Amino acid sequence: MPMRVLLVDDSRQVQAALRALLSRAPEVVVVGGAEDCAGALALIEDRAPDLVVLDVELAHGDRGYDLLRCIRSRHPRLRVVVLSNFGWEAMRKPFIDAGAQAYFDKALEFRQAIDWIRERAGAGTGSPEGRA
């Protein structure tokens, strides 16, 4: 069963790039994309992803950190990987401490993030373990 991935980023361009790259892997299926917390939470409930790819800053002033904490509270087994323009350790550590499985810098580690997702999907670590 493919790993079900939800993309949460305020940039539709980033979502499109991620979707295109991830769709090349048969072990991954992108189940949707959201630009803010409300949209992400609705899609989590509706689409039951195994993994959320999360940006730090979202639309409408929403914060990825707040969404991560909400996900950890409501869906403790759902995996979250952060993909952000803020790559410094002062940003990375709080997200990891709050329960993100990984944190990647969009500018420097975009390819590594895609590889990380594909590796976990290929290893069968996406479903059903990742579901809440």
Q: Tens digits of per-residue pLDDT, 58-86? A: 999 999 999 999 999 999 999 999 999 98
What pLDDT sits at residue 131?
28
**Average pLDDT, whole number, for the chain?**
91
Cα dihedral across residues 60, 61, 63, 69: positive or negative: negative
Phi, psi of 35 (to 5 degrees): -110, -10
SS3 at position 75? coil
* Cα–Cα distance measured from residue 54 to residue 79, given in angstroms and rounded to the nearest whole number: 10
What pLDDT sits at residue 89?
86
CB 68 within 8 A of CB 54: yes
The pTM score is 0.90
The DSSP symbol for 79 reads E
Q: Tens digits of per-residue pLDDT, 27-36? A: 999 999 999 9
User: Domains in the chain, ordered, with CATH?
Assistant: 3-122 (3.40.50.2300)
